[in-house]
Homo-oligomer: A and B are copies of this chain.
Amino acid sequence: MRVHIELKKEEDRSYDIVIDSIEDIELGTKAVIVTNPKIAGLHLGYLLPRLRARELYIVTLPDGEDYKNEESLNYLLDRLFDHKIDRKSTLVAFGGGVIGDMTGFAAAIYQRGIDFIQIPTTLLSQVDASVGGKTGINNRFGKNLIGAFWQPRAVYIDPYFLTTLPKREFAAGVAEIIKMAVVFDREFFEWLKHNRLDDEANIKEAIKRSVELKAAVVAKDEREGGVRASLNYGHTFAHVIENETGYKRFLHGEAVAIGMVMANRLAVKKGLLSQEEAKEIEELLASYGLPTCYEVSDAQSFYEQFYLDKKTQSSKIKFVLPKGIGDFLITDQVERDEVLDVLREFERC
């Protein structure tokens, strides 16, 4: 005996990303802004007059990746219960990637899922975390190991928040924008070479282009099987760098910048990218003050750390390599010695 359970396709989970000064946002009956103390101090005065909700609560979580954990999540969930948040309420993630990931995950599991919107305040979270639906927390086994795919109802990207962003953090966001251009869009890369992103019209345009590119990839591969891996260009190397430096020395985007330069060297070795193209990318990164080198103290040990990454499911590591500028190749046809050669080039910076 057998019963086939046919499920209604999930209703419309598509949404808009608005890249502009925030005007009125209608939040319905009950809403909770989730933020950190720093963003609250800097920007709640700007945001609050622009939100409409009958009841509005504010919960602050401690700032930083170290606090993207179960304890903060439980603290947040407890506050939601305290305030009798119901299934029709809305959470507002107001901050960078850490706030976005935790608020999104809380929204995903609170009473089996409620709405949330994102108001990302860092450039990195504006271009990266606003598309893809990834939410989650870290634990002692690693980063983002507990989580869910949960889509926001809307994302509001207001360049105003970038005015208070430290230069290094701004540049770290630019690294992700450059990454998108190198992997997917030659024309965008050319545009980036000639348009500095400290200009507001330019940054809006660059965010829009990055978000569109990421959206196109995610639409093809929502739950991460194939093409979405292309977004990991630079990340395979970056994760090891972050690991070796205890996530302290570099911002994520900075590690990705170095990781891109490393991946490029490998791509040059494989004949996928020309020396000139590699140089162009490195120069664009450097022009924003991004690091492009990291002294690999032990190439062997660096290499072995690839295998600790949760994304490595088989014994073969997959590398995302640029194929010229604007295209990419995902390949596991890379010899250990080729990678070690590249890593050894980084022994001195």
- Min CB distance A193 to B, Å, is 22
Q: Is the pair A112, B134 in contact by a Cβ cutoff of 8 Å?
A: yes
Q: Is the pair A113, B212 in contact by a Cβ cutoff of 8 Å?
A: no
Indicate whether A1 sits within 8 Å of B147 (C-beta atoms), given known contacts A7-B219, A88-B313, A313-B86: no
What is the interface of chain A mostly: helix, strand, loop, or mixed?
mixed
Comparing A16-24, A40-48, A325-333, the segment that makes contact with chain B is A16-24
Q: Does A168 sit at the interface, judged by CB under 8 A? A: no
Q: Does A136 sit at the interface, judged by CB under 8 A? A: yes
A70 neighbours in B (Cβ, 8 Å)? 74
Taken residue by residue from 1 to 32, chain A's Cβ proximity to chain B (1 for < 8 Å, 0 otherwise) reads as 11111111111011111111000000000000
Q: Is the pair B5, A215 in contact by a Cβ cutoff of 8 Å?
A: yes
Give the CA-CA distance A204 to B329 in the complex, in Å.
53
A310 neighbours in B (Cβ, 8 Å)? 86, 111
Give A residues with C-beta under 8 Å from B. 1-11, 13-20, 70, 74, 77, 81, 86-88, 105, 108-113, 131, 133-136, 139, 141, 144-149, 151, 204, 208, 211-212, 215, 218-220, 222-223, 310, 313
Indicate whether A211 sits within 8 Å of B3 (C-beta atoms), given known contacts A112-B136, A134-B112: yes
Q: Is the pair A6, B10 in contact by a Cβ cutoff of 8 Å?
A: no
Q: Is the pair A5, B14 in contact by a Cβ cutoff of 8 Å?
A: yes
Indicate whether A8 sits within 8 Å of B219 (C-beta atoms), given known contacts A148-B112, A208-B1: yes
A151 neighbours in B (Cβ, 8 Å)? 5, 7
Given contacts A4-B17, A9-B10, 8 further A-B contacts (CB under 8 A): A2-B16, A3-B211, A4-B16, A5-B131, A7-B133, A9-B9, A77-B139, A77-B146
List the B residue with the shortest CB-CB distance to A111.
B145
Give the CA-CA distance A224 to B109 in the complex, in Å.
15
A8 neighbours in B (Cβ, 8 Å)? 219-220, 222
Q: Is the pair A16, B10 in contact by a Cβ cutoff of 8 Å?
A: no
Q: Is the pair B136, A1 in contact by a Cβ cutoff of 8 Å?
A: no
Q: Which of B3, B88, B141, B204 contacts A17 (CB 8 A)?
A: B3
